[in-house]
Amino acid sequence: MPIKSYLAHPEEGQKKALMEALSKIDHCDVIPAENKDLLIVVTDTDNKTDDEKVKESIEAIESLKLLAMVSGFNTPKNK
């Protein structure tokens, strides 16, 4: 059950578009910065395959310039 966080840098002037595109994707939370062109993306999926799918769909967004992963967690299955 991977949980990952990323910093998403939008293309110049496209922060709003990126924000909208990201919020349409499932298993994906967005926290925009108030005063800088930067968004925080947290993904929370059930398995590795879903995780990769989500990452692919994020990277496919046109208004995204750069996606950098910050941290990743995996919740243990048997807890």
Partner 1 sequence: MQNSLTSRRNFLKKMAAAAAMTAAASMFPGIIFASEQDANLPKGANLDWKKGPCRFCGVGCGILVGVDKGKAVAVKGDPNCSVNKGLLCVKGYHQIMCTQAKDRLTHALVKKNGRYVQTPINEALDIVANKMKETIEKHGKDSVAMYTSGQSTIPEGYVASKLMKGAIGTNNLDCNARLCMASAVAGFLTTFGADEPMGCYEDIEHADYFITWGNNMAEMHPVLFSRMLEQKNRRGAKIIDFATRTTRSSTASNKSILFEPQTDLAVANAICYEIINNGWVNKSFVENHVNFSKGLTNMGYGLEDKFKFSDKPTKIDFESYKKFLEDYTPEKVAKYSKVSVKDIKYLAAIYGDPNKKVVSYWCMGMNQHTRGTWINNLVYNIHLLTGKISQPGNGPFSLTGQPSACGTAREVGTFTHKLPKGVVTNEKHRRLAAKIWNVPYERIPSKPTYHATEMFRAVDRGDIKFIWTQVTNPLVSLPKTSRYRPGMEKESCFVVVSDVFPTPTSDVADVILPASWHIEKSGLYGNSERRTQHWNQMVEGPGETTPDAWMTIEVARRMGYGDLFPYSEENHVEEIYKEYTQFHEGAKHGMAPLEVLKKESGAIWPYVNGKSTQWRFNAKYDPACDNGKDFHFYGKPDGKAVIWQRPYEPAPEVPDAEYPFWLNTGRVIEHWHTGSMTRRIPVLHKAVPEAYVEFHPDDAKRLGIRNGENIKVSSRRGSCILPASINQRGLPTKGQVFVPFFDENMLINDVTLDAFCPISKEPDYKKCAVKVEKA
Q: Which parts of this chain interact with partner 1 (CB under 8 A)?
A: 1, 3-7, 29, 31-36, 38, 40-42, 44, 70-73, 75, 79
> For partner 1, which is the closer residue by CB, 21 or 28?
28
Q: Please state the closest distance from residue 46 (CB atom) to partner 1, in A.
A: 11
Distances in whole angstroms, Cα of residue 10 to Cα of each of 2, 16, 37, 62, 67: 24, 9, 7, 9, 9
d(CA 55, CA 72): 13
Least distance from C-beta 49 to partner 1, angstroms? 18
Q: Is the dihedral of CA 49, 52, 57, 58 positive or negative?
A: positive
Q: How far is the CB of 39 from partner 1 (least distance, A)?
A: 9
